[in-house]
């Protein structure tokens, strides 16, 4: 089990995303994946309208996240693990 979870509380302050990603939903699913619920998380992830690989790294969301999450960097890493 991964020790690190994305510290997203689902506040949605980062929305709307320039690439129409549902950022908190992607992080909720990714945290599920990291907890070892891989099958369920992959099923949820692949049912999303927009997935992490669509992030254009504009950085808009990061200026709005009170938890200072490096959102675009996390989005960049998710496809390697979940696609
Ligand atoms: S950096 Fe990525 S996730 Fe954040 S607003 Fe831009 S496209 Fe969306
Ligand atoms: S602003 Fe940060 S904590 Fe709030 S939903 Fe977006 S990523 Fe999560």
Contact of 56 with 9, CB cutoff 8 Å: no
* Digit-coded pLDDT (tens) for 2-19: 558 999 999 999 999 999
Those residues with Cβ within 8 angstroms of residue 4's Cβ, 6 or more apart along the chain or in another chain: 34
Q: So where are the chain's domains? A: 23-82
Counting DSSP H helices and E strands in the chain, the numbers are 4, 0
pLDDT at 34 over 60: yes
Ligand nearest to the CA of 65: 2
| The pLDDT of residue 2 | 54
Which residue has the least CA distance to atom 7 on ligand 2? 8
Q: Whose CA is nearest to atom 5 of ligand 1?
A: 17
Question: In this structure, which residue's CA is closest to atom 4 in ligand 2?
Answer: 11
Which of 6, 7, 12 to mutate to test ligand 2, by most ligand atoms within 8 A of the CB atom? 12
């Amino acid at each position: 089990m991964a020790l690190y979870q994305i510290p997203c509380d689902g506040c949605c302050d980062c929305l709307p995303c320039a690439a129409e990603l549902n950022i908190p939903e992607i992080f909720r699913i990714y945290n599920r994946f990291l907890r070892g619920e891989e099958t369920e998380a992959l099923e949820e992830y692949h049912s999303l309208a927009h997935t992490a690989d669509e992030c254009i790294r504009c950085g808009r969301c990061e200026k709005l996240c009170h938890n200072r999450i490096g959102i675009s960097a996390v989005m960049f890493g998710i496809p390697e693990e979940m696609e």
